[in-house]
Structure 1
Amino acid sequence: MATLDLSKSPETTGPLNFAGMTRGEIAGVLGEAFGLDEKKAKMRATQLWRWIYHYGQTDFSAMTDIAKEMRAGLAERFVVARPEVTERLVSVDGTRKYLIRLGPGVEVECVFIPDVGRAGALCVSSQVGCTLACTFCHTGTQKLVRNLTSAEIVNQVMAVKDDLEEWPSGKEDRRLSNIVFMGMGEPLYNLDNVAKAIDVISDGDGISLSRRRITVSTSGVVPEMHRLGEETAAMLAISLHATNDPLRNELVPINRKYPIAELMEACRNYPGVGNARRITFEYVMLKDVNDSDAEARELVRLLKGVPAKINLIPFNPWPGAPYECSSWERIEGFADILSRAGYASPIRTPRGRDIFAACGQLKSESVKKRASEARKERMGAV
């Protein structure tokens, strides 16, 4: 039986694209292409890095501190190109959802949410599809196609910065201040590429987003959690949703492999965890499933000794979903129990529901066909 090699990068054709590369990769490519020694290759890479990631420049001819002859040589051999945004939807609340084409038949979604974090947060994807099959999540109904490369993750950020007209980077009044790995896929099943992308996104000479404003959410891939903290210093979020193993086995099937006790031990040992670097526990509110007062009290008991905050997420419906959202009164009652126990427990305001951009609603149609083709078929059937 043929198996899918998720570690294999997608085949590329045409000129090599600098966008998404690390500093070391750019230096290596320049050294090989122009016969530069290590010192000169690093110098040229530093120049290119700033143009690509600080200024967002895609035209080599505009990179004025690089010699004209070098610029011409770069233009002959390379590009600085963004992925194609095949669809851009804007919600009534200002949320923007992007469908990004990465290659033939391969698309992912990412979502920009204004007024979240310091200014606005971008929810990026780390895989095309997902293997986890969480029963409340629309993405979980899409078969995994492959991991995204680090460049494909970075280019989601760059494409959105283009749309927000947020170049050069590092402006005090920036609209994009936070990155959350909460889109399609399980980031810790693609940790090498996620870590590499975080290195690029957080570099102070480029996009320059603080690692403390980058959050990686996991459903509980326990063996990779410590490495995530060691290698990235990113903030950690846990997709929890239940306080006992039988229910979490149903909602988040990976719990059968890494049960709650193991998950909580990994949280206590997460590098750098403390009151200044609390772990966020995400808890989707499902009517008559996990929203009782007893479960709120059990959540308090479970998190004892862990520097934590709890995001209560009203369930966002999608076609064929087997759950309903808890009533607002029930959610507030649940939150009150957590608050009285001393936990920050904000109720996440649903954003982008009208364009299926809310938490748990992302899904592309890469498995069967391009989403744009599917839309054309639906239009033709009207």
Structure 2
Amino acid sequence: MTLVLDHTPPRETQAPDAAFRPTLAGMSRARLAEAMAAAGVPEKQRRMRVGQLWRWLYITGVTSFEQMTDISKETRQALEALFTLDRPGIVAEQVSVDGTRKWLMRLPKLGHEARAPEVEAVYIPESGRGTLCISSQVGCTLTCSFCHTGTQRLVRNLTASEIVGQVLLARDRIGDWPGAARPDDKGLLPETDRKITNVVLMGMGEPLYNFDNVREAMDIVSDGEGISLSKRRITLSTSGVVPEIHRWGELSGTMLAISLHAVRDELRDELVPINKKYPIKQLLDACRTYPGVSNAKRITFEYVMLKGVNDSPADAKALVRLLAGIPAKINLIPFNPWPGSTYECSDWETIERFADIVNKAGYASPVRTPRGRDILAACGQLKSESVKLRARDRPGADGAASSPTAGD
């Protein structure tokens, strides 16, 4: 049974805009130094104080200034007068029958915004690992025809702090800080010291259209003196913003996933409209020159299986030809329905036949087990304007072979 926890505060208890204080949680070292200056910390002390703040924020995960016991009371009070340690607010938390968790998060309003924007993030627990799927934008401009997020207009980019904040909130909720109490998860969390072992930028939005903020956020998440998540455990998924792919590889160096979904330009133009600007050949040329790409650092190609659209044996053979020479892994994704979608998921026999062709060509081609479908948390289903899927539209779990593998 799906558990839904509504965390929406009553309207009268929400803090007025005038009381807004920015949060330090999610800030880079440079921004923390600016915060220290604003709080009146002498310049000669700032580097040390930033180091202390950094450890409290990203190693210990504290949520109050009082817990920062090696920082003077005077400095803590000065910081608290100007800043908070808040994470994004939880509007609703849903827990799937398979242990997948989805959070609808509310962000602080920026000056021009009439209402507080909302985004979604999803945590997928597995044996020995846990993957957190985070968002980079509120809404999306790409309008991919099979994707629920694409039906929501773009509101704005997320700040680096808001992107990191999703990671911090998830760690809070699943007890992923040192010494944190384990939540009552009925045995569904992985039996590992770290509950979040992988982060994927596969949530709402196109991360390469928010390049600078996403890069800053991933630098914070991967910093060896803080959260310390290896960049080999971080995967950025793009629909194909070709001019930014090489630059991302040079400056950030995370793993890369390509939202491909078609082997012919005329079909990809329909499924992933950015293809009209950056067609398949340009996209694959960018993949071939992605910095560091090798058999040890393969590019993941995501391919959603749409019944009668892109799932024929001819499509599978064309996919193999297209990817020749690229160290690659192919994730076959059973289509996850959402309210109003016009596509159907390929039959399981069709998916197996497709996977067999790709496997025989020498490519690893795991099939994602749909996770969190009952709470609209599966791939392609995220949308912060929450819409419930009618019970009769909810598919059962397919007998698929594996769950998300990006970032292995």
Cα deviation, residue 169, structure 1: 9.2
Cα deviation code 1:27-65 (max 9, x no counterpart)? 12212421422x421110010010011111021111111
Q: Tell me which residue corresponds to 1:6.
A: none
Identical positions, percent = 63
1:359 correspondence with 2:370: no
Instruction: Say if 2:39 and 2:79, in contact at 8 Å, map to a contact too.
Output: no
Aligned with residue 251 of structure 1, among 263, 268, 271: 271
1:28-39 superposed matches below 5 A: 28-37=34-43, 39=44
Q: Tell me which residue corresponds to 1:142.
A: 152
The alpha-carbon distance between structure 1 residues 287 and 350, as it changes in their structure 2 partners (threshold 3 A), is: same
Aligned with residue 215 of structure 1, among 235, 238, 246: 235
CA distance in 2, matches of 1:310, 1:80: 40
Q: How many residues align?
A: 356
Instruction: Say if 1:54 and 1:169, in contact at 8 Å, map to a contact too.
Output: no
CA distance in 2, matches of 1:259, 1:344: 24
The alpha-carbon distance between structure 1 residues 13 and 277, as it changes in their structure 2 partners (threshold 3 A), is: farther
The alpha-carbon distance between structure 1 residues 169 and 129, as it changes in their structure 2 partners (threshold 3 A), is: farther
CA distance in 1, matches of 2:238, 2:82: 39
1:124 correspondence with 2:120: no
| Amino acid aligned to 2:159 | T
Cα deviation, residue 13, structure 1: 5.2
| Amino acid aligned to 2:135 | S
Aligned with residue 119 of structure 2, among 98, 108, 112: 108
The alpha-carbon distance between structure 1 residues 285 and 12, as it changes in their structure 2 partners (threshold 3 A), is: farther
Cα deviation, residue 226, structure 1: 0.8
Q: Tell me which residue corresponds to 1:65.
A: 70
1:90 correspondence with 2:95: yes
Q: Tell me which residue corresponds to 1:23.
A: 29
| Amino acid aligned to 2:40 | F
TM-score (norm 2): 0.84
Instruction: Say if 2:39 and 2:75, in contact at 8 Å, map to a contact too.
Output: no
CA distance in 2, matches of 1:218, 1:25: 28
Cα deviation, residue 158, structure 1: 0.6
| Amino acid aligned to 2:119 | V
CA distance in 2, matches of 1:13, 1:182: 33
CA distance in 1, matches of 2:172, 2:124: 15
TM-score (norm 1): 0.90
1:1-382 superposed matches below 5 A: 14-37=20-43, 39-103=44-108, 104-115=115-126, 119-168=129-178, 173-365=193-385
The alpha-carbon distance between structure 1 residues 249 and 193, as it changes in their structure 2 partners (threshold 3 A), is: same
CA distance in 2, matches of 1:106, 1:12: 18
CA distance in 1, matches of 2:79, 2:350: 60
Which stretch shows the higher mean deviation, 296-305 or 168-177?
A: 168-177
The two structures, once aligned, show a CA RMSD in angstroms of 1.8
| Amino acid aligned to 1:28 | E
Q: Tell me which residue corresponds to 1:380.
A: none
Cα deviation code 1:285-331 (max 9, x no counterpart)? 00111000011000000000000000000000111111110001100
CA distance in 2, matches of 1:333, 1:78: 56
CA distance in 1, matches of 2:275, 2:142: 10
CA distance in 2, matches of 1:89, 1:320: 21
Q: Which runs of 5+ in 1 are unaligned?
A: 1-10, 366-370, 376-382
